[in-house]
Amino acid sequence: VDFPGGAAVVAKHLRKAGAEVLFSTVVGNDALKDFVLKDLEAAGIRCGLVIDPTRPTTHKNAFITNGYRMLKVDKLDNRPISEKALAQLKSALAGHSAEAVVFSDFRHGIFNRVTIPQLAAAVPPGVARVADSQVANRWGNILEFQNFDLVTPNEREARFALGDQDSTVRPLALELYKKSGCKTLILKLGERGIITYRAPNPEVRSFFTVGSFADRVVDPVGAGDALLAYATLSLIATKSNVIASILGSLSAAVACEHDGNNPVSPEDVLKKLNALEKRARFE
């Protein structure tokens, strides 16, 4: 089964949630570029692809037998993108009006310690900046995204960024919050839920936790993408990091309860919320 992955999945979550989405990335001049373009346009996503004929469109293949991933074969180019491609991305950022820009970092050439400050600076004033950076077969560092409105790392990514294998979660999250300079940090903890840090306020605590809402985990892959999308839109719409954390967690739970990394619909999130409300006991 072929499907666009990576940042394209985040874009499809955002679109499914009702947002108008412009998706930009760097692709090769090949058949996979056409496949990505066709799929995203069918989902109602506008595409501003930067085409670089010197590199292939990132292509990842997994061979699965009886539910087990037996082999992974990738065709990609992890070199930093060219100055020309970087200039095109910066122009796209500066030239389009938006309420938020989401940087989804898989470390395959676009994002590095040189390009991130330039891309972040190209975002127009008043536009929310959101980032998520992967630590998998490539090492992204969420601390390179400084002074963003929202960052959503998982525990492994946080520990990698801070070089800290030993601290408990709360001081770990606080240290990452301080060093990143972000306005809101949502630290993803898998089956333990999330911990959110926000600006200190005399009336409320600077942090809070939200447990996982998943009832039956089928496939956790991609839950973070759903959380990133719904937390971003909720934060833009309500200005509340509490609502953003809860709706982000609900969308992640919905994603976990279905096989495959498919876009989460608002109807499914509402259904999950209603089911939780029926089970809740208020005193």
- DSSP string across 47-112: E-PEE-TTSPPPEEEEEEETTEEEEEEEE---SPPPHHHHHHHHHHHHHS--SEEEEEE--SSS-S
Neighbouring-strand partners of residue 59 = 75
Q: Domain total for the chain?
A: 1
Q: What percent of the chain is helix, strand and coil (3-state, nearest 5)?
A: 40, 20, 40
Q: What's the pLDDT at 166?
A: 96
User: Across residues 56-61, what is the average pLDDT?
Assistant: 90
Decide if pLDDT at 197 tops 70. Answer: yes
Q: What's the pLDDT at 3?
A: 84
Q: What's the pLDDT at 148?
A: 98
Say if 57 falls within a structural domain. Answer: yes
Q: What's the pLDDT at 283?
A: 64
Per cent of the chain over pLDDT 70 is: 99
Q: Which residues contact 154 (CB under 8 A, 6 or more apart)?
A: 187, 188, 189, 190, 224
For residue 53, what are the domain limits?
A: 1-77
Identify which of 101, 150, 144 has the alpha carbon closest to the alpha carbon of residue 126: 101
pLDDT tens column, 7-20: 999 999 999 999 99
Give the whole-angstrom CA distance, residue 8 versus residue 13.
Answer: 9
pLDDT tens column, 148-169: 999 999 999 999 999 999 999 9
| 24: CATH | 3.40.1190.30
User: How many Cβ atoms from other residues are within 10 Å of residue 90's Cβ?
Assistant: 16
Say if 114 falls within a structural domain. Answer: no
Say if 182 falls within a structural domain. Answer: no
C-beta of residue 233 within 8 angstroms of C-beta of residue 204: no
Neighbouring-strand partners of residue 194 = 188, 210
Arithmetic mean of pLDDT over the chain = 94
- Higher per-residue pLDDT: 107 or 117: 117
Q: What's the pLDDT at 280?
A: 81
Identify which of 75, 131, 78 has the alpha carbon closest to the alpha carbon of residue 105: 131
Say if 2 falls within a structural domain. Answer: yes
Q: Which of 146-160, 232-246, 251-265 has the lowest mean pLDDT?
A: 251-265
pLDDT tens column, 81-94: 999 999 999 999 99
For the stretch 61-85, what's the b/e string if a residue is b when 16 or more beta carbons lie within 10 angstroms of its beta carbon? eeeeeeeeeeeeeeebbeeebeeeb
C-beta of residue 215 within 8 angstroms of C-beta of residue 229: no
- Higher per-residue pLDDT: 114 or 134: 114
Structure tokens at 47: 């595409």
Say if 272 falls within a structural domain. Answer: no
Say if 103 falls within a structural domain. Answer: no
Say if 67 falls within a structural domain. Answer: yes
pLDDT tens column, 12-46: 999 999 999 999 999 999 999 999 999 999 999 99
User: Across residues 73-102, what is the average pLDDT?
Assistant: 94
Say if 14 falls within a structural domain. Answer: yes
Give the whole-angstrom CA distance, residue 181 versus residue 177.
Answer: 6
pTM: 0.93
- Higher per-residue pLDDT: 252 or 140: 252
